[in-house]
């Protein structure tokens, strides 16, 4: 008993000494209370010093974002589970804006909009914190978009070329292959130095799992970051997901790296923002969207840029995805995004159901950067491809009525069908620049005219090993390659004719 008393006296003395060593300084803490809560938003009173976009801490550690500053109450978007929070609960102001983890440690990881790991691999150690909202690079800090971003899809790289630092919208109806194009683009970066960030906004867990599994199987997941805001996540996390993805990507851009960001998709992001805005009693506008919905997306996509050499020359390329209803690209959100971006890849449901995949409608798709980013060797071969394909589509319409056609028209139609067959491509099978050049040469030089349409897939499957054996200089082409000399092209034509004959036998 005496020993226990002595031990308690010693502990009490040590405690007094530790307390005496603590500095007695005033600590200011802003405390308010919840006035109303529900559906992922809360009204808070008693925080007159709160700032716009300030991070607030609710009971249980749940964080919220102050988005509406009223005279009597603050409107907050909650970034976590609201269980345990009720009217009267204590809310503390932090004086800080929302921040997310960024850095090399995030590569290969699956996180939410706040950087919390979702892949079960433990905490992310050593990551830095960066504000979720950051200003876009100003005009004087930007450079021209001149370097290509290869997607591995011939129909895109040949006729709708993308550049590093561009914003290209992928738009189309539901289940027409929008995400497939984005995933193939990520997979194709396996052979490049581009870092990829995939942001899933309001997507089903099964859809997100398919994307992640595809990248792990066919791509380079160690150079990818997956930022997930699933359909069952709080609305605040879904709304914050694309901004967090851009902050993670900007970390690498400012360190002279090239980054690709996929936003899948901004239509659901707009719907989520509409839901939150209506709950916060903001006045609705067209289609019940708040008046600042254009600004919400424009300030996000303006962060995609090609930086000038003074800032290292890094780039951030954005491929936002938007969903249309019954092919209506004149709806409110699609027209907003079309006007913000540098072009669009439009996917036609009719082409998809006709088994033309990727179902890209060449007439409605455009890249406003265009051939300035194309490899010279590919640009020389694709200059007249779009016109020839458009002429074929127009002539094909007349042949469906059983109209008699002359020999010249028949040859144009047969040639156009081979162009269409070459532009078709299986998913998860991106093509290298050398393969694309060889296919375009095969079409232009008539090497495919001797081959039945149903054998073109077989030719495409055997093209890569054939080039490696017979034309290694074509297989080794890069983005700086100049148009093929006549002698090289003649030798390539002979080799392609020999391949077509072997496949057609």
Query: CB-side exposure of 70: number of CA atoms within 13 Å?
Result: 13
Q: What is the DSSP letter of 448?
A: T
Catalytic, out of 255, 368, 410, 426 = 368
Alpha helices in 69-196, H assignment, sequence order: 154-159, 178-188
The two structure tokens encoding residue 238: 């879904």
CA 80 – CA 91 distance, rounded (Å): 14
Cα angle value 138/334/357 (rounded, 5°): 105
Identify whether the C-beta of residue 67 lies closer than 8 Å to the C-beta of residue 133: no
Identify whether the C-beta of residue 368 lies closer than 8 Å to the C-beta of residue 343: yes
- Cα-Cα-Cα-Cα dihedral of 449, 451, 454, 460, to 10°? -90
**Helix and strand numbers, DSSP H then E, in the chain:** 17, 16
Identify whether the C-beta of residue 360 lies closer than 8 Å to the C-beta of residue 346: yes
- CA-based torsion, 490, 491, 496, 497: positive or negative: positive
**What is the CB neighbour count within 10 angstroms for residue 491?**
16
Phi, psi of 447 (to 5 degrees): -70, -25
Residue 227 Cα distances to 99, 108, 205, 249, 449, angstroms: 14, 11, 13, 11, 46
Looking up tokens 């081959």, which residue turns up? 451
Is 92 assigned a catalytic role? no
Q: Which residues of 115-145 are buried (b: 16+ CB within 10 A; e: fewer)?
A: beeeeeeeeeeebeebebbeebbeeeebbeb
**What is the CB neighbour count within 10 angstroms for residue 16?**
10
- Helices 407-423, 385-399: axis angle to 10 degrees equals 120
What is the SS3 string spanning 5-68? HHHHHHHHHHHHHHHHHCCCCCCCCCEEEEEEEECCEEEEECCCCCCCCEEEEEHHHCEEEEEE
Identify whether the C-beta of residue 201 lies closer than 8 Å to the C-beta of residue 350: no
Residue 272 Cα distances to 277, 293, 326, 342, angstroms: 9, 11, 21, 25
Beta strands in 371-447 (DSSP E): none
CB-count burial class (<10 Å; 0-12, 13-18, 19+) for 427: middle
Catalytic residues: 368
């Amino acid at each position: 008993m005496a020993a226990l008393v002595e031990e308690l006296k010693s502990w009490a003395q040590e405690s007094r000494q530790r307390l005496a060593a603590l500095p007695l300084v005033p600590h200011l803490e802003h405390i308010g209370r919840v006035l109303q809560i529900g559906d992922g938003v809360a009204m808070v009173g008693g925080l007159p010093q709160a700032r716009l976009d300030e991070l607030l801490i609710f009971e249980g550690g749940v964080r919220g974002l102050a988005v509406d500053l009223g005279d009597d109450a603050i409107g907050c978007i909650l970034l976590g589970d609201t269980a345990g929070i009720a009217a009267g609960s204590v809310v503390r102001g932090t004086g800080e804006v929302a921040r997310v983890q960024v850095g090399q440690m995030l590569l290969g990881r699956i996180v939410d909009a706040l950087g919390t790991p979702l892949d079960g691999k433990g905490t992310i150690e050593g990551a830095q914190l960066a504000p979720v909202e950051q200003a876009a690079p100003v005009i004087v800090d930007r450079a021209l978009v001149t370097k290509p971003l290869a997607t591995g899809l011939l129909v895109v790289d040949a006729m709708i070329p993308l550049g590093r630092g561009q914003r290209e919208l992928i738009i189309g109806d539901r289940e027409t292959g929008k995400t497939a194009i984005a995933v193939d683009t990520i997979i194709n970066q396996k052979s490049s130095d581009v870092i990829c960030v995939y942001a899933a906004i309001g997507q089903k867990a099964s859809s997100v799992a398919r994307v992640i599994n595809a990248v792990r199987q066919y791509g380079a997941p160690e150079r990818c970051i997956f930022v997930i805001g699933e359909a069952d996540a709080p609305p605040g996390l879904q709304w914050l997901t694309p901004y967090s993805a851009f902050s993670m990507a900007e970390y690498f851009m400012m360190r002279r790296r090239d980054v690709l960001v996929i936003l899948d998709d901004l239509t659901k992001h707009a719907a989520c923002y509409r839901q939150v805005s209506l709950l916060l009693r903001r006045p609705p506008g067209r289609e019940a969207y708040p008046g600042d919905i254009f600004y919400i997306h424009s300030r996000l996509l303006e962060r995609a840029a090609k930086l000038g050499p003074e800032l290292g020359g890094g780039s951030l390329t954005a491929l936002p995805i938007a969903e249309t209803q019954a092919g209506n690209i004149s709806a409110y959100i699609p027209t907003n995004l079309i006007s913000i971006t540098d072009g669009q890849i439009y996917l036609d449901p009719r082409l998809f159901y006709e088994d033309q995949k990727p179902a890209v409608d060449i007439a409605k798709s455009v890249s406003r950067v265009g051939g300035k980013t194309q490899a010279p060797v590919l640009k020389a071969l694709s200059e007249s491809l779009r016109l020839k394909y458009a002429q074929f589509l127009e002539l094909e319409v007349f042949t469906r009525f059983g109209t008699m056609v002359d020999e010249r028209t028949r040859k144009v139609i047969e040639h156009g069908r081979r162009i269409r067959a070459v532009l078709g491509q299986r998913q998860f099978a991106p093509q290298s620049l050398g393969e694309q050049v060889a296919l375009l040469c095969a079409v232009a030089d008539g090497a495919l005219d001797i081959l039945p349409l149903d054998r073109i897939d077989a030719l495409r499957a055997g093209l890569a090993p054939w080039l490696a054996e017979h034309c290694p200089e074509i297989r080794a082409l890069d983005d700086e390659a100049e148009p093929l000399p006549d002698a090289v092209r003649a030798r390539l034509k002979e080799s392609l004719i020999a391949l077509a004959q072997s496949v057609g036998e």
